[in-house]
A and B are shown apart, each in its own frame.
Chain A
Amino acid sequence: MDGLKARVIELADFVAGPYCGKLLADFGADVIKIEKPGRGDDARFIGPFKDDVPNPEASGTFLYLNTNKRSVELDIESPEGRVAFLDLIRTADVLIEDRMPGQLARLGLGYEDLRKINPNLVVTSITPFGQIGPYKDFKAYHLNLYHASGQGYLLPMWAINLDVPPCQGPGYLGLFDGGMAGATATLAALFWRDAGGTGQHIDVSIQHAMMTLERSQLRRFTDEGVNPNRTGKGRLLESLVECAGGEFAVVILSSQQQWEGLWRAMGKPEWGVQPPFDTQKGRSDNYAELRKRLNDWSRTVTQDELFHAIQKEGSAAAPILTAEGVFKLEQFRERGHFVTIDHPVAGSLEYIAQPTRPSNVTLPPKRPAPLLGQHTHEVLGQLAALAAGTK
């Protein structure tokens, strides 16, 4: 069995830090999650729950974000907990932490303290605004980060006018962005350390991670001196269409070539080769009418029929899938996008798998998210044995 040879201590709650840990655990790293005694990770309380009955051992968000980890209940602020935590840190390669800047240092557990006992340790701090800068102590939930990053101001894209307020993105996507940045940086630091370097401290600002992702739109301000906004990009790119049965799809309208494939898929209607709809400019200038005509056609076909008909003509289109649509998409199933994991409380469920699937490693079988404190005795017992052995 292969897998990342690293022991990771995860002192993190909810989504961003735990996603960082999951990205390492799913590739074989030994991720030990420190949870608040008697309560555990906040994600245990957010759901979704089976039949909406709350159960901290079976919250969908927690189950997804904590696969392949071990759970240790530890109060790092108690004297015994602190000793155990430091013992764990001595054996660790990585600490992922999401406490507000300075909080661990006040407990004598800041990077400088930990480095003294383990100079090879990589500490990855993931917080809303990072470890330095005037906003470092600012609070921000997903909503706030989406708007603080510049991404929220651009959504919902194609808003009819600016009376539509700017909007956050889907789910907790922005927090996933922070976790992804953290995992990437952690691996880079481990790679460098194991090539002859040392441990180090990584400071991830979720707001920065999200802002970087928006660079191709924010750039437009540097070009034009005008802020891009959510009402579109001033040119014809795509259209949302409604299909039979009330499902939605997107069709791409960015070029004459795209248009011709779509036009053939629609059954070559006369109007599509007559002015004003025969040129990109004409279609752009008459977008409202174009959109109406596209919808007159799209309502006569199902989402699936539209998708395949247009793609078979060499143009781009796609169904707007719900979660149900995702689970029913054969392409995803054929490629192993789902993984079945059995959990002692939640039972056997299909989860979304890691989209990165390296060809030349055999990863260990997937383990479910841990029960609260499931591995406390196992992990602390090993530490005690280790300590006894060295005496």
Chain B
Amino acid sequence: MQSALQGIRVIDFGHVMAGPWCTMQLASLGAEVIKIETRARPDEQRAQHGKGAVDNLEANSNFFEINLGKKSVSINLTTEEGRALAKKLVATADIVLENMRPGVMTKLGLDYPELVKIKPDLIMLSLSGFGATGSLRRYAAYNPCFTSVGGTSHLTGYAEKKPNTMTNSGGDARAGTAAVFAALVALKFRQETGKGQYIDSSSSEVINSMVGDQMMDYALNGRSPRRHGNTDKVMAPHNVYRCAGQDEWLSIAVGTDAEWQGLVAAMGHPAWSSMPDFAAAEGRKANEAELDAQIGEWTADKAALDTMHLLQRHGVAATPSFKASDLFNDLHVLERGQVQEVDHPVLGRRKTITSPYRFSETPTRIRGTAPILGESNDDVFRGLLGMDEAEIARLEEAKVIY
């Protein structure tokens, strides 16, 4: 089987999350990704885990999750020879990605104006919290910062409660995912025009564009929409309901009269369901609290997964609020290959999640485990750049290759 991006080489200056996320997806689509990193200042995802710093740079599951299928070369970019070596790699590349604080690549002499001299049709992606231009370009931004500035925090959570910063790393993940899209736009343009591109992507803007529909209320009416928990403007029932067990919940959403009839039938036509209040969609929405209480009473002693199957058989949209353990063992997830086991020399055999598109002709695949720091030095420096052993040894001695 072929891969969509076979023959495409990516030089990855990414670190922490959004950048490595992007290049890992490019690797799964078939690109050769060479990650440039150094033990002089290891990727935070190698060096930090959970409660603090770790001793072993090769035992980090954070790093594993977003660096699968890449090669790793160790180059210390604070040295002049290191930067020269990085440029040699860029000369062989189609795509360069970086997500350093804006200005850092310029200081290193590795910004787009410099790199495009070496590779005229280069595609370069720069990712940052606020973007590489504008008065806030140097401001620090972590995931909760750009979900906040990007307008999603205000829209997340319960109406009566405070906004929620969605710290579940989805902001970085979406910034990285948008960068995969940007890389493919640029590759397609290069295929059509022969020209490369520089793309300066702001994570705050990416996040905001994914609630761009919500922003329309301000554009139209000068109003800012608010968060509304699990509820919907018109649909009811539209909520999560507690089920049997510990912290088990089932989401149910009813959008049509037929779905309502399906729900009523699945519940066994309880007397309350025939009350005139609930006969039409407007009434169900107007009496949502009462409706939710009745449904919650019905679900309380039922297993969430069984009730999903029961309701779906009646044509009702219902799914449990799945936990990690549910997902890693879910029959649908497993049958679709959404979870795969990957061996790692230190972490052992682990389950991980695959790329979310199934191609009939160019299937994505996890090309390999997450690399040991510098494990591809020989392959890349000798094999790709044709350097001799003496030269490599000298650069190792000088801690350029480090």
Contact = CB atoms under 8 A, between A and B. Distances in A.
Q: Do A and B bind each other?
A: yes
Interface of A: 2, 4-5, 15, 23, 27, 46-52, 58, 60-61, 63-65, 111, 129-141, 143-158, 162, 164-173, 176-177, 180-185, 187-192, 194-195, 197-198, 200-205, 208-209, 211-223, 227-229, 233-235, 237-238, 240, 242, 248-250, 252, 254, 311, 314-327, 329-332, 334-335, 337, 346, 349-361
Nearest to A48: B217
Contacts of B316: 139
B214 A171 contact: yes
Contacts of B161: 156
A49 B220 contact: yes
Contact of A162 (B185, B206, B247, B331): B247
22 contacts: A5-B192, A143-B317, A147-B249, A148-B319, A155-B156, A171-B210, A181-B356, A190-B188, A192-B2, A194-B188, A197-B362, A212-B355, A220-B324, A222-B324, A235-B50, A318-B146, A320-B163, A322-B154, A331-B130, A334-B135, A355-B178, A356-B182
B200 A187 contact: no
Interface stretch (B60-68, B71-79, B81-89, B279-287): B60-68
B139 A311 contact: yes
B325 A221 contact: yes
A203 B358 contact: yes
Contact of A189 (B136, B255, B359): B359
Given A156-B158, A162-B247, A326-B208, A144 B332 contact: no
B174 interface: yes
Given A227-B325, A359-B197, A329 B149 contact: yes
A218 B75 CA distance: 32
B29 A188 contact: yes
B357 A185 contact: yes
B382 interface: no
Contacts of A189: 4, 359, 361-362
- Please provide the 4 A-B residue pairs with the shortest distance between their CB atoms, ordered closest to farther: A60-B216, A221-B324, A170-B155, A318-B145
Contact of A356 (B17, B181, B239): B181
B181 A222 contact: no
Contacts of B142: 238, 252, 254, 316
Contact of B157 (A156, A202, A352): A156
Given A147-B319, A191-B191, A216-B62, A323 B165 contact: no
Contact of A238 (B167, B199, B351): B167
B321 A208 contact: no
A337 B212 CA distance: 11
A281 B200 CA distance: 38
Contacts of A138: 308, 312, 317, 319
B79 to A, nearest CB: 25
A141 B139 CA distance: 37
Contact of A147 (B141, B242, B321): B321
A173 B151 CA distance: 12
Nearest to B3: A192
A318 B198 CA distance: 27
Given A144-B319, A147-B240, A172-B213, A202 B358 contact: yes
A360 B65 CA distance: 33
Contacts of B199: 356-359
Nearest to A322: B224
A185 B146 CA distance: 26
Interface string B205-227: 11011111111111111111101
B253 interface: yes
Nearest to B31: A188
Residue in B135, B324, B352 with the greatest tally of chain A CB atoms within 10 Å: B324
B184 to A, nearest CB: 4
Residue in B205, B208, B249, B331 with the greatest tally of chain A CB atoms within 10 Å: B205
B135 A330 contact: yes
A202 B357 contact: yes
Nearest to B139: A311
Contact of A197 (B2, B212, B308): B2
Given A202-B359, A229-B247, A218 B178 contact: no
B353 to A, nearest CB: 5
Given A156-B164, A171-B214, A318 B332 contact: no
A155 B319 contact: no
Interface string B10-21: 000000010000
A229 to B, nearest CB: 7
Nearest to A341: B219
Nearest to B304: A147
Interface in B161-202: 161-170, 172-174, 177-178, 180-182, 184-189, 191-193, 195-202
A354 B209 contact: yes
Given A335-B205, A356-B199, A134 B322 contact: no
A173 B165 contact: no
B398 interface: no
B333 interface: yes
A20 to B, nearest CB: 10
Nearest to A194: B191
Contact of A143 (B162, B221, B238): B238
Contacts of B184: 184, 187-188, 191
Contacts of A188: 4-5, 29, 184, 357, 359, 362
Contact of B253 (A144, A153, A228): A144
A361 B193 contact: yes
Contacts of A147: 240, 249, 251, 319-322
Nearest to A235: B51
Contact of B350 (A155, A191, A222): A222
Nearest to A46: B233
Contact of B212 (A51, A216, A218, A351): A351
A248 B162 contact: yes
B195 to A, nearest CB: 5
Contact of A250 (B145, B157, B351): B145
B273 interface: no
B300 to A, nearest CB: 13
B167 A158 contact: yes
A62 to B, nearest CB: 9
A187 B188 contact: yes
Nearest to A29: B188
